[in-house]
Amino acid sequence: MTTQNKSWKTELQDAMPADWAREIDDFETQIGLNKQGKIEPRVFAETRLRRGAYGQRYDNGHRNDGKQIRHLKYPNDGLWKGPDTHWDAPGMQRIKFPWGGMTADQLDTMADLAEEYSDGIGHITTRQDFQLHFIHVEDTPDIMRRLAAVGITTREACGNSVRNVTACPLAGVCRTEAFDVTPYSKAIFKFMLGHPDAQDFGRKFKIAFSGCAHEACGLVNMHDMGFIGKKVTEGGKEKRVFDVYVGGGLGPVPYNAKLLFENHPVEEMLPVTQAVARVYGRLGEKKIRGMARIKFLVAKLGIEEFRKLVVAERKILTPDPRWTSLIDQYIKEEEKPAHKAENLRASSLPKGFLDWKKTNVYQQPQYGYVSVYIKVPLGDLTSTQLRVLAGMARKYVKETVRTTVEQNLLFRWVSEADLPALFQELQAIGLSASGANTISDITSCPGTDTCKLGISASRGLTRELSGRLDQMMADLPEEVKNLKIKISGCPNSCGQHHISDLGFYGVSRKSGSYTVPHFQLVLGGQWKNNGGAYGLAVAAVPSKRIPETVKRLTDKFVKERQKDEAFQSFVARIGKVEIKNLLSDLMVIPSHDAEPSLFTDWGDVREYTIADIGKGECAGEIVAPSEFSLTSAESKAFEAQVELDKKNYKAAVDLAYESMIFSAEGVVRSRNREWVGSPEATVAEFRKGFFDTGEFVKHVNNTQFAAYLFKAQENRLANPNPDEAHRRVEEAQLFLEAVHSYIANAAPSPAALLSK
């Protein structure tokens, strides 16, 4: 069974490209040096992040166990793998699957790694990656070697680099695409991986491809850079071109991507990307992390100026033969089916097959072939499932498997005649659920389960909602079935809540001496048109009341919908005031004794807290002055949204500013209950007493939120355009959320304030 000195390094050294092997060896050396204290944890953190080895919740050594904040005594106490990140704390390994493409061997390897190093689960992310959780950093080099042996590099899976390149999972088998964008996404991945012009970014850089403008699959609008395939006719000849977009992004404040070049020749795709990377690397913000994405640079310069810089940069690039050779190479790689095209025979179909076929099977334009969506609950697959899927990928298709941004898997090129057998094999591993891409197929980020920034249990809520919706699926009206729900555990929007019909992101609210997990309801987003519109927060509702929130909204939609009206239009028509009224009773937090379950989150029995606040005997009855300020801030933020919906941009911006001032006042009053001052004085007091001292930032873990206030104070936006107004309203809401966290985490209890 064993020989001395056996290692994955020696076993696999010939199984991967030499440069990949060298990079992993180097990383292992750096692990050793960090352990010996020869590398600063801060430097090591960026090194490991660039290899996809992430931190995970509780790696700072503190965990709320439901009764108290415990200090986790990791074995090598005092040894760090990053600032405030314990060496032995479990971490997450992100694994890139460019354009979502997976082979059977890769599925098998994921199964083995999940068992041996993780918790037996491979998790599909919202950017077509996989993640393994609860990994020890010292295991990561072997994980990387085993991945490299099946053609996967984790290089630049994280950190300030070009992240996974995503693409429509249906590319090449889509009925409405202009052309297959797969070869181009492959070329860009290969070209930009480790490219010297992409090593000096202030933040991450995400690229996406879409084969059309009207569907959602590529989500180009929310990417740092994106390409939408088109065909144009020039001189009587049909030609492939891209509309090139830049500066989109979700995050706390979402930005719509701007059109950089229209009808751009596909051969120019790589040089233009290189030019954009150089401009971003040179001019992008480096110091303030929260302002460093390319969207801020594009917004600051304006798209015209940015375009001029890119054009100038393109002119001085040294020609690289790979600009065209990579595309030529990948265009030749054509996918082939495993079996010949045969029609489905209607006799003796398995039970449940027709329902499943209706939602999970996509008719390809290639006669006799279909693509099959495998609905993966919360994106989680067991090792057993991964292995069976690998076998099926060999048996039914020529390993043409892709992950999707909705955390599912897609088998392409399935011969229709194979569908019943494939369905039965999926049934045997519990993956034959119908309803792929429907309301019950909810997208969710990791949230409080494993993410360091999570505020509420996005996965817990997803589990609960999907379960309920699955049960009701047969009775749901068609217009409800087709809605999208997306959930993030905090405003950072990894769950893509901005671009769904019903979006939710995690926030918290204080009630007496308790903190209550909530979700902000986000409405008005659009999934189609590559994530064509971003929604805005409407109301914060306690986590446990979100199922009722969904029910009321969908019931109202069914009852009051006008002919063929889309949910987004319905929301716009009835208005947010009416929606807020519909939910107002759900937003009221009762006393702890009246409804204790509200004070825990989904799937978690611990009493919810984001700090170790004790319960004062009479604290429940005292209302702190800061709470009055926050209530006013909430109403102003809401009124701002209503004005925004009415397209009164100036009014929206002014109300957003007022909301920010009330929020800042809430912070100041948390220490000085008597505070009254002009807006200027309140901002100055906030800056002096809470920002400059680092107090506010320490408790909300981000400089960006306070920066929104200062920016609003400096520039009141006399003539805001729709984008600016949208952003300002969003920023007011986020500043308010940050203030809520600050109050929950740091502010003295009302009782303590009174006794002063």
Residue 385, interface with other proteins (CB under 8 A)?
yes
Going from the C-alpha of 175 to that of each of 209, 211, 366, 608, the distances in angstroms are 16, 10, 9, 48
Nearest distance from C-beta of residue 206 to other proteins, angstroms: 27
Give the contacts of 751 (CB within 8 A, at least 6 positions apart).
Answer: 513, 616, 617, 618, 619, 622
Q: With respect to other proteins, which residue has the nearer C-beta, 121 or 583?
A: 121
Residue 451, interface with ligand SF4 (CB under 6 A)?
yes
Cβ-contact 246, 229 below 8 angstroms? no
Nearest distance from C-beta of residue 605 to other proteins, angstroms: 4
Give the contacts of 513 (CB within 8 A, at least 6 positions apart).
Answer: 613, 614, 615, 616, 619, 620, 749, 750, 751
Residue 375, interface with other proteins (CB under 8 A)?
no
Q: Which of 37, 83, 196, 467 binds other proteins (CB under 8 A)?
A: 467
Cβ-contact 550, 485 below 8 angstroms? yes
Nearest distance from C-beta of residue 72 to other proteins, angstroms: 6
Q: CB-based burial of residue 94 (10 Å sphere; 0-12 exposed, 13-18 middle, 19+ buried)?
A: buried
- Residue 25 interacting entry, from ligand SF4, other proteins, none, C-beta within 5 to 8 Å by type: none
Q: Which of 52, 55, 82, 90 binds other proteins (CB under 8 A)?
A: 90
Determine the distance from the C-alpha atom of residue 425 to the mean position of all C-alpha atoms in its chain, rounded to a whole number.
31
Q: E strands, 576-718, where? A: none
Nearest one of 409, 201, 274 to 401, comparing CA atoms: 409
Q: Supply 301's token pair.
A: 């310069």
Which contacts of 107-112 are long-range, i.e. CB under 8 A and separated by 24 or more positions? 107/386, 107/387, 107/389, 107/390, 107/393, 107/401, 108/150, 108/386, 108/387, 108/390, 109/146, 109/147, 109/149, 109/150, 109/152, 110/381, 110/386, 111/383, 111/384, 111/386, 111/387, 111/390, 112/146, 112/383
Q: How many residues line the site for other proteins (CB under 8 A)?
A: 54
Residue 445, interface with ligand SF4 (CB under 6 A)?
yes
Going from the C-alpha of 510 to that of each of 540, 630, 718, the distances in angstroms are 12, 11, 35
Nearest distance from C-beta of residue 354 to ligand SF4, angstroms: 36
Nearest one of 541, 530, 571 to 554, comparing CA atoms: 571
Place of tokens 């439901």: 66
Nearest distance from C-beta of residue 491 to ligand SF4, angstroms: 7
**Residues 666, 630: Cα–Cα separation, whole Å:** 6
Contacting range for other proteins; rule: CB under 8 A; set: 87-95, 610-618, 632-640, 706-714: 87-95
Nearest distance from C-beta of residue 444 to ligand SF4, angstroms: 8
Residue 73, interface with other proteins (CB under 8 A)?
yes
Q: Which of 135, 276, 490, 507 binds ligand SF4 (CB under 6 A)?
A: 490
Q: With respect to ligand SF4, which residue has the nearer C-beta, 326 or 461?
A: 461
Which residues between 111 and 170 bind other proteins (CB under 8 A)? 111-112, 115-117, 119-121, 133-134, 136, 139, 142
Which residues between 686 and 715 bind other proteins (CB under 8 A)? none
Nearest distance from C-beta of residue 398 to other proteins, angstroms: 20
Cβ-contact 414, 397 below 8 angstroms? yes
Residue 493, interface with ligand SF4 (CB under 6 A)?
yes
Which residues on neighbouring strands pair with residue 363, listed in sequence order?
370
Got the DSSP string for 114-159? HHHHSSSEEEE-TTS-EEEEEE-GGGHHHHHHHHHTTT---TTSSS
Q: With respect to ligand SF4, which residue has the nearer C-beta, 55 or 218?
A: 55
Q: Hey, is 563 helix, strand or coil? A: coil
Nearest distance from C-beta of residue 162 to other proteins, angstroms: 31
Q: Hey, is 161 helix, strand or coil? A: coil
Cβ-contact 413, 454 below 8 angstroms? no
Q: Which of 188, 480, 494, 738 binds ligand SF4 (CB under 6 A)?
A: 494
Contacting range for ligand SF4; rule: CB under 6 A; set: 450-458, 541-549, 707-715, 729-737: 450-458
Nearest distance from C-beta of residue 594 to other proteins, angstroms: 22
Got the DSSP string for 206-226? -EEEES-SSSSTT-GGGSSEE
Q: Which of 377, 454, 524, 535 binds ligand SF4 (CB under 6 A)?
A: 454
Q: Which of 246, 378, 461, 697 binds other proteins (CB under 8 A)?
A: 378
Residue 504 — φ and ψ, nearest 5°? -140, 140
Q: How many residues line the site for ligand SF4 (CB under 6 A)?
A: 14
- Residue 451 interacting entry, from other proteins, ligand SF4, none, C-beta within 5 to 8 Å by type: ligand SF4
Residue 89, interface with other proteins (CB under 8 A)?
yes
Q: E strands, 514-633, where? A: 514-523, 536-542
Q: With respect to ligand SF4, which residue has the nearer C-beta, 445 or 541?
A: 445
Give the contacts of 529 (CB within 8 A, at least 6 positions apart).
Answer: 213, 214, 215, 216, 221
Residue 489, interface with ligand SF4 (CB under 6 A)?
yes
Q: With respect to other proteins, which residue has the nearer C-beta, 436 or 653?
A: 436
- Residue 117 interacting entry, from ligand SF4, other proteins, none, C-beta within 5 to 8 Å by type: other proteins
Residue 520, interface with ligand SF4 (CB under 6 A)?
no
Q: With respect to other proteins, which residue has the nearer C-beta, 63 or 240?
A: 63
Q: Supply 624's token pair.
A: 């702190």
Residue 495, interface with ligand SF4 (CB under 6 A)?
yes
Q: With respect to ligand SF4, which residue has the nearer C-beta, 83 or 302?
A: 83
Instruction: Give the helix/strand (H/E) hosting 599.
Output: none
Q: Which x/- pattern over 427-456 shows residues binding other proteins (rule: CB under 8 A)?
A: --xxx-----------------xx------
Q: Supply 430's token pair.
A: 């519990």
Nearest one of 123, 113, 224 to 447, comparing CA atoms: 123
Nearest distance from C-beta of residue 7 to other proteins, angstroms: 7
- Residue 416 interacting entry, from other proteins, ligand SF4, none, C-beta within 5 to 8 Å by type: none
Which residues between 573 and 632 bind other proteins (CB under 8 A)? 603-606
- Residue 8 interacting entry, from ligand SF4, other proteins, none, C-beta within 5 to 8 Å by type: other proteins
Q: Supply 439's token pair.
A: 């309301």
Which residues on neighbouring strands pair with residue 237, listed in sequence order?
234
Cβ-contact 140, 397 below 8 angstroms? no
- Residue 446 interacting entry, from other proteins, ligand SF4, none, C-beta within 5 to 8 Å by type: ligand SF4
Q: With respect to other proteins, which residue has the nearer C-beta, 463 or 673?
A: 463
Residue 220 — φ and ψ, nearest 5°? -60, -35
Residue 320 corresponds to which amino acid?
A: D
Residue 453, interface with ligand SF4 (CB under 6 A)?
yes
Q: Which of 72, 283, 317, 349 binds other proteins (CB under 8 A)?
A: 72
Contacting range for ligand SF4; rule: CB under 6 A; set: 194-202, 369-377, 434-442, 491-499: 491-499
Using CB under 6 A, list all residues that contact ligand SF4: 445-447, 451, 453-454, 458, 488-490, 492-495
Provide the binding-site residues for other proteins, judged by CB under 8 A.
1-2, 6-8, 11, 57-58, 63, 65-67, 70, 72-75, 88-90, 108, 111-112, 115-117, 119-121, 133-134, 136, 139, 142, 377-378, 380-382, 384-385, 387, 429-431, 449-450, 463, 466-467, 603-606
